[in-house]
């Protein structure tokens, strides 16, 4: 994203210095600041538009629920396969040659 260009979903946000600072932090990828300061701004602001905008920014930093679920499912499958492999994985059985005198040929 080029400098000075706000994300498209923020174009309808009201003009507010604190909200603009949060949008700049979001644009730079500083999601920790957005998650820390967004709820504070949503509680402290008297303007309902600023409060909604701050909540929207915080919601956009949360991970997608479907992605989290699929990641958890993949981790569970890898865990189950590992347990199965550890419990049932062993080298194949090879037949042992019959014992007899060494070096004798008949």
58, two tokens: 């915080």
pLDDT of residue 93: 78
Reference 58, options 88, 23, 86; nearest CA is 23
User: Contact at 8 Å (CB) between 22 and 37?
Assistant: yes
pTM, entire model: 0.64
pLDDT tens digits for range 78-97: 999 999 999 988 777 788 87
pLDDT of residue 1: 46
Instruction: Indicate if the pLDDT at residue 9 is higher than 70.
Output: yes
Measure the N-to-C terminal CA separation of the chain; round to a whole number of Å.
Answer: 85
Please compute the mean of the pLDDT values over residues 50-63 and round it to a whole number.
94
Mention every residue, 6+ apart, whose C-beta is less than 8 A from residue 23.
6, 7, 10, 13, 57
């Amino acid at each position: 994203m080029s400098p000075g260009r706000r994300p498209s979903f923020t174009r309808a946000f009201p003009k507010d210095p604190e909200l603009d600072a949060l949008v700049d932090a979001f644009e730079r990828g500083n999601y920790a600041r957005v998650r820390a300061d967004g709820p504070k701004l949503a509680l402290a602001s008297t303007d309902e538009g600023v409060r909604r905008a701050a909540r929207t920014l915080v919601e956009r930093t949360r991970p997608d629920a479907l992605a989290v679920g699929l990641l958890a499912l993949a981790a569970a499958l890898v865990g189950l396969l590992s347990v199965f492999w550890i419990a049932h994985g062993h080298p194949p059985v090879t037949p042992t040659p019959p014992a007899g005198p060494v070096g004798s040929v008949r």
